[in-house]
Amino acid sequence: MLWAAAFGILALSACATPVTSATAPRVATPSATGALLPRNTVIPLSEVQGFFPEISQELATGWNSTASGSPTATRSVAYTNGDGSKKVTISADEYATAADASAGYQKAVELSRAVPDVKAVPVPSLGEQAFAGSVTKDGQTHVGVGVLDGTMVIGATTAGWDATPENIAKLMSLVAAEVAAVKNR
């Protein structure tokens, strides 16, 4: 769970446990209203399956407990395969200002880089700023991506796949689809 807490906005804790779990570390404080972004802010199962066909169901959705800073509204959705050995988590966090979003994003990146054995992963141009990293802990590999775009921070993580160039490319394509979905909502 240390990796999950450190990766913050990059949604790793949702890969390790359902988003609604009482055991998920809290990096952010829910807004006074606990506002959720609409469910359609995060791409649906059918789109996730286009990148990761092994995924068969939505596991959990709710407020992104790993968001950094003070988002005004969030949404996190965790997807899994039939036996729970593979997970994809996507989150979108909205902030009152671009400066607030940047501060939350920068804090998450700082925490991510501090994770023992984290390896930076090359990231294509996905937004104003992007960071990706991978780590293998207790035999399970997590690859996470965080993107800053205006007042939004978008995160996506895989768990249960090796950090191969092919799997990383699929994750980056998934993130690009999520960034487009957030912009078109």
pLDDT per position as a tens digit, 3-55: 333 344 343 333 433 333 333 344 455 555 568 999 999 999 999 999 999 99
Confidence check: pLDDT of 119 > 60? yes
**For position 174, what pLDDT does the model report?**
97
Comparison of pLDDT for 125 and 178, the residue scoring more? 178
Torsions phi, psi of 11, nearest 5? Answer: 70, 20
Look up residue 148 and give its two tokens: 């800053």
11: helix, strand or coil:
coil
Domains of the chain: 2-183 (3.40.1000)
Confidence check: pLDDT of 115 > 90? no
Look up residue 56 and give its two tokens: 């068969």
Run of H or E residues at 158: strand 152-159
Beta-carbon count within 10 A of 184 CB: 7
Confidence check: pLDDT of 131 > 50? yes
Distance of alpha carbon 20 from alpha carbon 10, whole angstroms: 16
**For position 24, what pLDDT does the model report?**
37
Q: What percent of the chain has pLDDT over 90?
A: 63
Q: 121, 168, 171, 125: which is closest to 147 by C-alpha?
A: 125
Most confident of 17-31, 129-143, 161-175: 161-175
**For position 10, what pLDDT does the model report?**
41
